[in-house]
Amino acid sequence: MEMAAAAHGVNVKGSSMSPLEVASSSLQRTARTHSWLTPAGRIAHPSFMPKKLRHEDSLRWECRSSENAPKRCSIEVQAAVADLLTQEDKAVVSVPKGETWSVHKFGGTCVGTWERIWNVSGIIADDPSLRKLVVVSAMSKVTDQMYSLLNKAQNKDDSYEADLVEVYEKHREAAMSLLSEGTELDGFLNNLQSDVKNLLAILRAIYIAGHCTESFSDLIVGHGELWSAQMLAASVRKRGLLCKWMDARDVLVVNPTSSNQVDPDFEASEERLEAWYSQNQADTIIVTGFIASTSDNVPTTLKRDGSDFSAAIFAALFRAGQVTIWTDVDGVYSADPRKVSEAVILKTLSYQEAWEMSYFGANVLHPRTIIPVMRYDIPITIRNVFNLSVPGTKISRFTAVDTETPQLGNEPEGCSSVKGFATIDNVALINVEGTGMAGVPGTASTIFGAVKDAGANVVMISQASSEHSVCFAVPEKEAKAVAKTLEAKFQRALAAGRLSKVDIIPNCSILAAVGQRMASTPGVSATLFNALAKANINVRAIAQGCSEYNVTIVVNREDSVKALKAVHSRVYLSKTTMSVGIVGPGLIGGTLLKQLNEQAATLKEEFNIDLRVMGVLGSKTMLLNDRGIDLDSWKHSLKENGEPANIQKFTEHLQSNHSIPNTVIVDCTASAEVATHYHHWITRGIHIITPNKKANSGPLDQYLRLRALQRQSYTHYFYEATVGAGLPIISTLRGLLETGDKIQRIEGIFSGTLSYIFNNFTGDKSFSQIVLEAKASGYTEPDPRDDLSGMDVARKVTILARESGLKLELENVRPDSLVPEPLREGCSTKEFLSRLQEFDADLTKLRAEAEKSNEVLRYVGIVDLREKTGSVKLERYPKSHPFAQLSGSDNIISFTTQRYHKQPLIVRGPGAGAEVTAGGVFSDILRLASYLGAPS
């Protein structure tokens, strides 16, 4: 052979070229003067001769003369080539690398049944990419079953045999349904039977020994991937594609670094890949996920959920153009949709964002999947195998946030500096504290050395710059061991007092906000903490690195979902959802429910406000609903499905749905009993809105205690409708005070009922006649004496006085009662109305005297800040006065202040009626929504 090669200018001995390179060189020399007939029978010009021989099963190159007459190539050269190919066994074919490859990964759910395997093969066949590599997991639940039978064998539970038979039958039935019949099915079943026979022998040995090494464990549990890969490859071939399947243990080399982590050896894996591909050339390759080998060819795995990692490693080995992770969700959500129903699919994520969200438990990727693809800027797309119409989430080096100005608000998805949120539950905080820690080198090293000795994983670290304390989070199950190790390590420091304590704070959860450039975007942390404060959530610890990708917050476990909902709602401005409870579904409460029902759709669509009435509490019955009461039929439901009224159960119910961070109770009663619950509601973080005057005009000490509590919390207490129904009287007064104005006098007609009566008390009509008309028109309470006594106005005067800074008791405001003394007590409403005319003379006389002076009678309330008094009385005003120019049931309030001393500030408008009062309450609800994050 050497002589023949030399005859054609080929030097084999002493050459630095490999035998194949020598043979290629020989053919190239000959090709300069000849055309060639390829094995496929086509004429090849010399310029198309391969620079490096490629192996074909029937490699025969037939040489032809330039005259195209058949002429055999030199026998010596043919012999040399054949001999060289024999020496090399087969020509090494380099793996074609680059963007022509697309990598797909299908999880266990995607191949859970034979029908799903067939659907997956269709997705592969439909992929237009030139070359495809598909990483596949074991069929759904199979890996768990393999671990289970392994554990049973170790524990000498011989039911492992029956479990293995069950696994065998599952795959046999799937294969028979998928492949029907033929050599593909026969080949797979033969392999399956052989594998199960071997597994049975291994498990029997484990059963006898009562112990299993890690390598045997990895060998056993990796069989699910072997079987699913073979079935998927067969089904792809059934669709007409040339397809090979790869046992990843023949190619993928990893080095274990701990009990639950391995590092890929890319150099060794690339060498093995070249060797495998030269033997198995195909444009479609099905690869087993999860499993690999060590450098010593010992079977191992990439640990739990490692198939994503497999896909990323192979993408890097092939320098693929893209990776698609197929799963059973439409993409990566901004938060766990099981906890936050308003979570949205993210169109894009950066590698770092996906990395952070994976670490904090979001259902994105295996946490280490990102590393291999980042090296070559290979994008990953998360898609739903059951919903091909959705494009999914693309993870790459750059996202829209890199080119858009980060901002908080109603921005298009993808531009916010905060992309998503994730939570880790069941963690505990360890707090190491002491004055002796400050300035002592190595303290932190000693602390975390002790944590390492305890074998614990630190999830988060927070340390004040004073070094007085170090706080860190660990899984709750490891907390006691860590604390015990720390106490032993710092025994002398604790005894000497240099270290004061090692505390465990259990029952915590970690909330992580993830996004690019968060640290360089003003207001992100403020927005997050503001949202938590408004949801009445206490923050136990915080951490933010300079990487700009993450803000980590520790909260109590019971607040975990509520906190997640609150920050997600605030950042994404998804529907600002409130759990609403209505107390008192009477005239005002019923009207409010009607208004809420009419506006519900508009509020959702245009203002992102979702008001869910979760409960309606009457005096005798109540209606509760976990998803929200149907406001079209609440009256019927309350009557037919109502349960006995229980204000404590009502309160518990409103806060039982932790996916809704904000709860508000609207008290539409006039009950002093209901008002006594306000303090308890505020301590629970429940917002209160009410037209009920009893709390703010009740005992002064209770009022001051309630307001102090409300100011200390982020819980809102709105009561605009307590004075003037829907008129902005309270807010106007607050605006004056907050801007530094000094109130001198507040005077006004605060009762819509009495306004109507005295606006119509003219001409020949008697006072009793006007009262009857007012009652018939619905302007009075069922018993008009409640209005005519002046107590309602006195309560409003007390409220305004207290808002102005006066510590006034209701009993200090003595109203001029319009109820004749004999009729105040001891008679029914009917008797009162029939006898009221007996006392018309006095008021008729007062009206006549006023008219002689060109004046009118008006029933007013007065707050005099100079005299520090409040009063309610019947007064006379000139007809030119604003109070004399009212009509109907309008209210009017005059503010005389330091700024408005020459001409008082006047607020005038409708001040009575269910529609107006309910409208005022509704306005407070919308104001609360704006404070909680909805657009104002």
Cα–Cα dist 773/889, whole Å: 13
> Which of 448, 459, 457, 458 lies closest to 485 in space, CA to CA?
448
Which spans in 249-369 are helix H? 266-279, 307-318, 351-359
Place of tokens 């999947």: 369
Q: Are strands 420-433 and 469-475 parallel, antiparallel or unpaired?
A: antiparallel
Active-site residues, by number, are 796
Provide CB contacts within 8 A for 87, sequence distance 6+.
19
CA distances (Å), origin 700, targets 629, 709, 715, 898? 37, 14, 21, 27
> Which of 604, 636, 632 lies closest to 623 in space, CA to CA?
636
Give the Cα-Cα-Cα angle 872, 876, 878 (nearest 5 degrees): 135
Q: Quote the distance between the C-alpha of residue 496 and its chain's center.
A: 47
Please give the order of strands across the beta sheet that includes 890-897.
Answer: 869-878, 855-864, 743-749, 890-897, 905-910
Which spans in 89-182 are helix H? 114-126, 142-154, 160-179
Q: Are 542 and 551 in contact (CB under 8 A)?
A: yes
Q: Inter-axis angle of helices 840-852 and 767-776, to 10 degrees?
A: 100
The phi, psi pair for 242, rounded to 5°, reads -70, 120
Q: What is the CA radius of gyration of the chain?
A: 41
Q: What's the first-to-final CA gap in the chain, in angstroms?
A: 90
CA distances (Å), origin 448, targets 430, 434, 435, 454, 588? 11, 16, 18, 10, 62
Provide CB contacts within 8 A for 102, sequence distance 6+.
127, 129, 131, 132, 133, 320, 321, 322, 323, 324
> Which of 706, 791, 800, 700 lies closest to 754 in space, CA to CA?
791
Q: Inter-axis angle of helices 142-154 and 214-221, to 10 degrees?
A: 140
CA distances (Å), origin 324, targets 132, 327, 710? 11, 10, 52
And the tokens for 778?
């619905």
Place of tokens 């476990």: 557
**Residue 744 DSSP class:** E
Q: Are 563 and 553 in contact (CB under 8 A)?
A: yes
Provide CB contacts within 8 A for 400, sequence distance 6+.
348, 414, 415
How many Cα atoms sit within 13 Å of 154 on the Cβ side? 13
And the tokens for 631?
């406001």
CA torsion sign for 776, 780, 786, 789 is negative
**Residue 886 DSSP class:** -
Percent helix, strand, coil in the chain, to 5, is 45, 20, 35
Provide CB contacts within 8 A for 789, sequence distance 6+.
815, 817, 818, 819, 824
Local structure of 858: helix, strand or coil: strand
Q: Are strands 420-433 and 501-514 parallel, antiparallel or unpaired?
A: antiparallel
Q: Inter-axis angle of helices 307-318 and 266-279, to 10 degrees?
A: 80
Which spans in 32-113 are helix H? 75-88
